[in-house]
Structure 1
Amino acid sequence: MGRRRGGREESIEAEIDTGTARLEPVPGEPDSWILYVNAVPSSPITASDPQRLDFEYLDWMGRVIDASFPAGQALRAAHIGAAACALPRWLDARRPGSRQTAIDIDARLLELVREWFELPRAPALRLRPGDGAHEITTFRPASLDLVVRDAFAGDATPGTLAGDAFFGASAAALRPSGLLLANVADRPPHRALRAEIARLRAVFAHVALVADPGQVRGRRWGNVVAVASAGPIDTLGTAKALRRGPAVATVLSGAQLDRYLGIAD
């Protein structure tokens, strides 16, 4: 894990298929790292604690998962956008016996992630190179509990992962109680985010949004988590779980989400 000279961790930089990956040590924390992909922070990793999720949106995702499924239940999950597999590591430690597939467009990045980090081995976690828009169509209908979309080209979600075809394929692969969690990054006035939520609502019966209150008010750029399911989403349980977290977040659904989308007074 990293190179040491005189007891000091140093960053590692490597060429990957889509550009450059850089592994940067967290100052003062000898086993914590941030993976940057093409200069964009993509994954936090603490080698000694897989249940530590230092990015606030990852913490939110973890709390949504825990509020939505019985404690300890093993899940079948597909991750579109693998990076350093922070959430798959968390899920494997939190819910032993889970089976996961992490998909990334960059095959070389997946090789490096296996080399750099102690990731669960197949069948607990399979790493699959490929285009997530295609790969999601290869899962059997109603075979997944969880689809996590956390893939970017630069700081934007590729259009093929934010359209009707991808959301439809995700819905088909999910069980009735399954969840789609989508990491969305957008700037005020959040037109892309609103458009993506509207597309999700056209496919899924239930959609909610988890975000920092300042983002909801359109005051700043940042990551938000869209939650979608064929079945009801436990928004009250999710809100309680989020209140116990380190980063403030609010949950929008129903009429609140209508108002945010501008389709209700």
Structure 2
Amino acid sequence: ERPINMMFQSYALFPHMTVEQNIAFGLKQDGMARDAIARRVGEMLELVQLQKLGKRKPHQLSGGQQQRVALARSLAKSPKLLLLDEPMGALDKKLRSQMQLELVSIIESSGVTCVMVTHDQEEAMTMATRIAVMDAGWIQQVGKPDEVYEQPANRFVAGFIGSVNLFDGVIDEDLPEYVTVRSPLFPAPVYIAHGITCYEGQPVAFALRPEKVMIGKDEPEGHTNKAQGVIEDIAYFGSHSVYHVRLPSGAKVLSNFANSQRWASDGLTWGDQVWVHWRDNDGVVLTS
């Protein structure tokens, strides 16, 4: 009886009904006039760009088209809140990426508030304006996608959203202008160019995203935020490569290398001695 609707992970389309009949189902249940139903169904088909497929049955549609029908059916009754249960779960990766943006565009044009459940962190980052990260039933952090990614509230959030390098250490110097973290994993201290709420000697974790880690064969300038190691593994993803660098302490540092030029990473290979380094504000100190 509440103005709430749900789009199921399996889409749950009625196989014996056409696209138009599926979209009209909820409207008929509400006793809407036939002319009004026809108009609303036409509006929904136009919204999801399926005007020419209204007479087809669900089995005659692709996965992405079935998803649009399920979305149109859930929006037809003009709900104030739309619940989405892993709406991209049945799609392959390329179609999922395309449909994420289309789905956001459709939802924004309809003006409905949506709550979406997903186990795909990239999907959440792409589609949501506000993310809640949960662990064992408790909300760990709520914020905009960039806030959750760049300023995680604790170790769980840092490790759950995207890839991250996490290193344990203790606060060495605690001043308003900067903080240094001493870790047995690094020969030099970690320098953060801003103050934080902590005390000297406090155990902390230092979180550093792989895309913030620079890698090269020449030793960088300065006495902090660097370490030498050996390339242990390389993962090639086309647009970028991820280098796994093993430090003498045994710690592993992940570094993303953007393949901005063809064969740009030819100069680095397995077993090479390299330096990893990062800027003063690239990492985050986590106290919990």
Q: Provide the TM-score with structure 1 as the length reference.
A: 0.28
Q: Which has the larger radius of gyration?
A: 2
Q: Provide the TM-score with structure 2 as the length reference.
A: 0.26
